[in-house]
Structure formats: structure tokens, C-alpha cells
Structure 1
Amino acid sequence: MSVAVEHIATDQPPDAAKARDLDYGWHSDNQVQLLENGEAYFPKVFEALREAQREILLETFILFEDKVGHELQHILIDAAQRGVKVVVSLDGFGCGELSPSFLGELADAGVTVQMFDPASKTLGFRTNWFRRLHRKIVVVDAAVAFIGGVNFSADHLGDFGPEAKQDYAVQVTGPAVADLHHFALAQSGRQPRARRGWRWRQQRPSAWTAESAEGMVRLIYRDNLQHRDDIEEAYIHALSHAQKRVVIANAYFFPGYRLLREIRNAARRGVQVQLIMQGQPDVLLAKLAARMLYDYLLKDGVVIHEYCQRPLHGKVALVDDDWSTVGSSNLDPLSLALNLEANVLIRDRAFNQQLYERLEILARDHCQTMPENRKPRLWLWRLTVGFLVFHVMRHFPAMTGWLPAHKPRLKPFKGQANER
């Protein structure tokens, strides 16, 4: 089965430019459910997809042709055949190995399949490494939304084996879903409907927090236009106001100076700061890069745990008793300076406590804690290499500008039936 590709957009989807200046605000009276790993995430998402009546918007970094991917494919085909409008946006790097037959079956059933920045291999290697569509968002009937770090692949299930990923996502219902729906429409190249009271802001709000702390949700995102630093700024603002506790569980931890400084400053003023890092990484460089920062943080009282049971893939954090964030953004140069990302901020005590309890179990039962006075062998050599690697990594996004000009594109796939 052949699959035709037609170019329709450059840099960003056409309607995304209209939404790029929008700062989504806080919404109250939402219900947010924590979903840990594929065992909790996939059943909830698949149930919502099976019950869809009008529309499914789905975007993901990775979709594999495994038991999870095939189940998703069958559900989407069934939805499209019963008249549901289905739009699937995939990343050209993360989904670059999908077969034409797999994509063609979706397209022939009426599913709109779009690939962000597809590229053929050159000498057996992929060249579309940077500025990836790294978001994981599902919106069904503009009534329920899912967002987090879980891809549609079997390696998010425990029965995958030792390499199964530890990860988190949330299910959101309530007024905040309207923003997630609007955002997903715009990013997929669809014209979002205007809503009463909609206002395009020229300046960003000065605060990232909400007055109320129950059921409050706000969508934040990162692009390469006018929202380059929104997720990083949200972390910095929350950390600068922390009074009691901070817990950050992040798969790829290599943030910039400002965020590192706020983490350290919080610990210095007596806040209990815990970081949960990868101890069994799926990318060894991630562990090596994070460990270069340990001494800087440990000496000021930051507690660092390494999760050793299986690869950590989560991107979550909490501050004090009511602020939390869950999403797709790591705290490394790729997520903070290149990729397209999305998180939700949550002000809700019950959710914060649930996330705290789950992370405490992770740290207590499945992690090793780094000693405060650790001094590894060859520490002077490690310090020198660490200094050089740190600065290379921090300037890595700017260094990508030395490469040939590259504008990511969103392209639709047309199945064989649509080519006739």
C-alpha cells in the first residue's frame, strides 16, 4: 500500500500562528486524575476514544506498531468509520519507523494522519533530530483531555520487562478542557472556533499562580515563536515562592543556571527539596549529564534520589501543598529550548498530596539516595570534564543554528483509497 505525502505547512501549522500569542488562563472547578504508567493511562484513554461521538484530537511523540499501537489503530479506525472526526498528529522522528501500511490503513478509514517534520534517512541515519513535536495530548469531544509523558508504546507497561518506563499523565475534565481543545485544534492546523470572552493578549500575565488552590488548571506550552520559556518560567516562579517542600521527578535533568539557582536557593532557605533522577536510564548520557550537577546541589541541602528499578520517564513536580505540574517537558536543553512541549499547572491540594505520596513511595522503596559528602574517584578529572560538558550542553540549542536552515513541516498522509 502506498502513502502519498502532500506539503501543507511550514514551521508551524497555519492556524498555530494565530494562537501563538495566546496565554491560556487559570480555570476553576476541574477534576484532575493522576494516571501512573501505561497500566492506568491506556485503559482510560482507550475508553474515552471508544466512547467518542464527534471528535478525537491526538498528538504524540512516539507511536509504535506493537500491542499498544495496534489497539490504538483499531480504536481510531472504528471511531472514524462511525463518523467521528479523527485527527492524529505524529512526530517524524519519534514515529519515523511506522510502516506505510499501518498509516495507510488509518488514512483509508478516514483518519486524518499528519506527520510533523518527516524526513527520509540519509546513509541509514535520521537527520531530523531537533525541534521535535514532543507533546502527548488527547482531547475527546472537547469534554475530556489527557496530557503527560506517556507515549503510545508497549514500553510503558510493566510486562515489557526491565526496560519498561516509569511515567505519569493526567486526565482532565472541566472548563480547562476548552483550552486544551482549542490548543490541539490550532496545532493540528484546524481553525479553532472563537469562544465568548476570548481575548488575545499582547503581554503575558505577571504571575504563574492562582489565588484559589482547589481544582485550578492552566495549560502552558513551549514553542519556537513567542512562548520559548513559558514552562521554564513556571518552574522558576513556583520554586521562588516555595516555603515547605519541593519534589521534582524528571527523566532528563540538565536545566539552565536560573532554574538551578532557584532549586538551590529554595534548599538554602529551609525548603525540603527532593530530586528524583534516572538511575537506570534509557539514555546513558542523560544520567552522566545530571550527575555533573549533583555536587552543586547537594552541598546546599538538596536531596537527590536515583530511581533504579527501571527507566524513569516522568516529567512531574510539586511545590508546597497545592502546586503541581504534569506534562511532556523534561528539564534539559532539548525540551527547554528546542522541542514543542505542553504541561498543565494544577492548584489542588488533593492532587498534590496524591502525587506527593506516589513519589515518596518511589523515593523510599525504589531509589538510592546520593550522599551529601560524596567525592568520587578522579574527582578533579570529572570536575574538568563536567565543566566542559555542562557548557557545551547549555549552549547546544544555539549551536544547532550552525546547521543548515531547517523549518519543521506538518504533512498529511493520504491512503491508497484517497489517491484514486
Structure 2
Amino acid sequence: MSVGGARRFARLRQALLGRRYWQRYRFTSGNDVKLLCAGDEFFRALIARVDAAQSDVVLETYIFENDHAGQAVSAALLRAVARGVKVRVITDGIGTERLPMFNDWLAAGIEHRIYNPHIFGRFGFSRTHRKLAVIDDQFGYCGGINIVDDYENNGAKLPYRRWDFAVELHGPVVADIRQAFEVQWQRIRLGHRPLDSLEPQGGPKTAASLGSLRRRRRRRNEELWAGGQPCVAFVARDNLINRRAIEKAYLAAIGQARNEVLLANPYFMPGRKLRRALVFAARRGVVVKLIVGRKEFKALDYAVPFLYRALLKAGVQIAEYEKTMLHGKVAVVDSNWATVGSSNLDALSLVLNNEANVVLVNDPSIGALREAILVAFKDSRRIDEARYDARPAGERLLNWLAYTSYRAVMKLLTVGGYD
């Protein structure tokens, strides 16, 4: 590592170690990370691991479609359970329809639970938007890819496959993904998050034991960061103890950026803190590039541009991706920090839904992700500040109305949590 890189690591480490959310997740070393680009790579890898499974497969997803991709994954799950592997699946009650294949799962012995079957259910308006899988406690998956064909979108054919990512993980971090699934599995059964599952480590959950656990985790994180070695953290957002974990991970990384911040997200409607962090980064000379998805939800297409003015004035470079559906939720900071996951940068993901990201530090896969974001930025339509300022008055009014309406609805749904 270069001297400059070591100094950036030291600054970021110092900023992160003082924050409470270190108590909510842990960094581990000794993990193998494989970046998977779009569904084709993800489904091939997942199905191969499921077909090789010997004891246990768990999978959680927001969308499980009855299309070519969904049928292929379902067939792999059925083959696994037929040879004696225990298979459990969680789907979301709104994201996934009641599919005929669910009856096949039940008959074959696959255990299936649905998170929040109704729009307003036991867990309020929240959804499980996570995309997770663990096979034999050896291989874990996390990212933004649903179980849906790469080229299908609500019955329409996409011109190119979705722009999306997941990671395959092998190593200590897999235990944290498995723990998150188990908590969700029991939560669906009991209607709340079990108190004995608040932390990934075992043992009695007294105040003293939790404090000791957090101190040990902090020391371990300090050792990893001080050494500058590759490490990975699994970061789950829920509505109990990890309410702001993903947002705070973004804030800390952007706040310590010195050279470059690359963000790509389909739904860019973050609160003031995250927008302010991007503005401050650009003002201190950091190259900030933001790629925003388009043409999936009309309301957001009108609302999101309202946020561009302050960002453009600060020097943030903004581009709208229209080549195909941008579904990836990824970021790279200073080429040594990255995140891949399910969390959009909007009120629902950051404040309400169950989400899951992985944070990578100094991992070799970061370079490939950075290159993919830069290529997508070149393929996108750049927002010109002068042209943006020259928008017709009617368009400006429409942007303001859409943003104000969105903010009011999100404030209501998140009980004031969205700022």
C-alpha cells in the first residue's frame, strides 16, 4: 500500500471507530470475494453451489419470479431437497406473488415463509428487500439481484440485461449472513425480532456481555484497519437496532474521501445528511460522480431532479442511465472502499425496509467494480448545469411538486424518520 493510501485508511479508520454503528456489525479478514455482474453470472454461481450443497441451503429475496431464471433456481432447490438437503426460503409478501411453484416446494419439503404478506401487516409497511443466500455455511451471497430474468421487466423486454451486482463470499463473513437469515426466519414466525438474536455472537445478552462484545469487536476492527489488509463487513438494516447502519457506512466513507466518490443507485432520494456529505466532498476537491436510474417509477423521474441543483452547484457530476434498467446499488470511494447490496438511497431503503449490503475494504474486487461504474457513467446522459438551470418554469414546478409530495408521503410512512 502506498503512503498516501495508508494515510487515507488511517483517517477513515479513525472516523469509523468512533461511531456507535461499529457495535452493530464487524469486519473480518480472510474472506474470498467474487464480484458477480448481473443475473447471468449470479444465477450460474448460485445454482452450481446449490447443486453441490450437502446439508443446508437458505435463500431470502424480495422478488422470486416464475420465469426462466426463477424456474432454474427453483429446480435447483428441488434437486437439493430431494437428496436430503434442508432448504428454506423467505420471499416478500408484496414483491413476490403467490406462485404455483410454492405448492411444489411444500410437497417436496422446502420450507417457505413469507415476510409481511399484506401491504400493512405485522411489520407495518416494511418489506424485506434483501437478496441473500447461504449454502452449507460455506458460501454466502449478497447484492441487488432478485430471482428474475435479466431481460424482463414487468412484462416488457429490456434492450440489455439489467445493470446489477452481487458478491459471492467465502470465509468468516458468511456466518454473519447466516445469522441475519436466522433472525428473519424466527421473526416471521414470532412476529418480532427475538431478543436472543440481537447480536451475531452467542452467550447471555446482559448489558455487561453486550458491552464486552462491542469492546472486543472494536479492538478487532482496529487491528484489521491498522494492518490495511482486505476485510469485509456484512451490514443489515432493520427497524430495531440497525436502523441507520447502511446510511452511516456511506456517511463515514464519503466524509473521509480524499480523491473520488463513485455512486450508482436506481432510486436516489436520500435524506439531507447524505446529500450534504456529497456536497461537502465535492467542495473540498473530491471527484464525485453520481449515476441515477430512470424510467421505472414516473414519480421519481420527476422528483429526483429537484435535488440536482445543490449537487451540481457544488461540483458533483450527475448522469442519468437510460441504456437499460439500472438496478445496482453500489459505490466506490478512493478505490479502497466499496459497497454492494440491496439498499437504495431513498427513504424506504434507508429508513423502513429490511436491507443488506456488504462493505469491502482494500479488496481486489473493488477495482473491477470501480471500472464498471466508470463505464456506466460514460454510457449515461450527463446533466449539464446550464441546461438544467434553463428548464422551463413548468418543469421546475413539477419537480418541486413531485419532490414535496414524495417527502410528505415518506415522512408519514417512516413516522418522521425521513429527513
Matches within 5 A, 1:251-400: 251-279=266-294, 281-364=295-378, 366-375=379-388, 379-400=392-413
Q: What is the letter of the counterpart of residue 234 of structure 1? A: A
Aligned to 2:63: 62
Aligned to 2:34: 33
| C-alpha deviation, 1:393, in angstroms | 2.6
| C-alpha deviation, 1:358, in angstroms | 1.1
Determine if contact 2:352/2:414 at 8 Å carries over to the other structure: no
Q: What is the letter of the counterpart of residue 98 of structure 1? A: R
Aligned to 1:413: none
Aligned to 2:88: 87
The higher relative CO (CA closer than 8 Å, separation ≥ 6) is in 1
Q: What is the letter of the counterpart of residue 300 of structure 1? A: A
Aligned to 1:169: 166
Aligned to 1:103: 102
The CA distance in 2 between the partners of 1:355 and 1:157, in whole Å, is 24
| C-alpha deviation, 1:22, in angstroms | 6.8
Q: Does 1:48 align with 2:61?
A: no
Other structure's SS at 1:48 match: helix
The CA distance in 2 between the partners of 1:160 and 1:77, in whole Å, is 28
1:22 to 1:58, Cα distance in 2 relative to 1, 3 A = farther
Aligned to 1:123: none
Q: Which moved more, 1:24-33 or 1:262-271?
A: 24-33
Alpha-carbon displacement from aligned partner over 1:62-121 (angstroms, at most 9, x marks no partner): 0011111111111111111111111100000011x233x3101101111100011113xx
The CA distance in 2 between the partners of 1:212 and 1:284, in whole Å, is 47
Task: Give the TM-score normalised by the residue count of structure 2.
Answer: 0.81
- What root-mean-square deviation, in Å, do the aligned CA atoms of Structure 1 and Structure 2 show? 3.0
Q: Does 1:225 align with 2:240?
A: yes
Determine if contact 1:37/1:150 at 8 Å carries over to the other structure: yes
Q: Does 1:117 align with 2:116?
A: yes
Determine if contact 2:302/2:398 at 8 Å carries over to the other structure: no
The CA distance in 2 between the partners of 1:75 and 1:362, in whole Å, is 32
The CA distance in 2 between the partners of 1:353 and 1:163, in whole Å, is 23
Match of 1:146 among 141, 147, 170: 141
Q: Does 1:181 align with 2:178?
A: yes
1:111 to 1:22, Cα distance in 2 relative to 1, 3 A = farther
Aligned to 1:12: none
The CA distance in 2 between the partners of 1:94 and 1:39, in whole Å, is 21
The CA distance in 2 between the partners of 1:325 and 1:21, in whole Å, is 16
Gap regions ≥5 residues in structure 2 = 1-20, 188-195
The CA distance in 2 between the partners of 1:147 and 1:46, in whole Å, is 15
Task: Give the TM-score normalised by the residue count of structure 1.
Answer: 0.81
The CA distance in 1 between the partners of 2:184 and 2:120, in whole Å, is 23
Other structure's SS at 1:325 match: strand
Between the two proteins, the alignment pairs up a number of residues equal to 373
Determine if contact 2:300/2:402 at 8 Å carries over to the other structure: no
Q: Which moved more, 1:137-146 or 1:376-385?
A: 376-385
Other structure's SS at 1:346 match: strand
The CA distance in 1 between the partners of 2:125 and 2:228, in whole Å, is 37
Identity percentage over the alignment? Answer: 34
1:157 to 1:39, Cα distance in 2 relative to 1, 3 A = farther
Q: Which moved more, 1:367-376 or 1:40-49?
A: 367-376
| C-alpha deviation, 1:334, in angstroms | 0.9
Alpha-carbon displacement from aligned partner over 1:301-322 (angstroms, at most 9, x marks no partner): 1011111210100100010021
Determine if contact 2:38/2:150 at 8 Å carries over to the other structure: no
1:272 to 1:344, Cα distance in 2 relative to 1, 3 A = same
Other structure's SS at 1:374 match: helix
The CA distance in 1 between the partners of 2:408 and 2:72, in whole Å, is 41
Other structure's SS at 2:387 match: coil
| C-alpha deviation, 1:130, in angstroms | 2.8
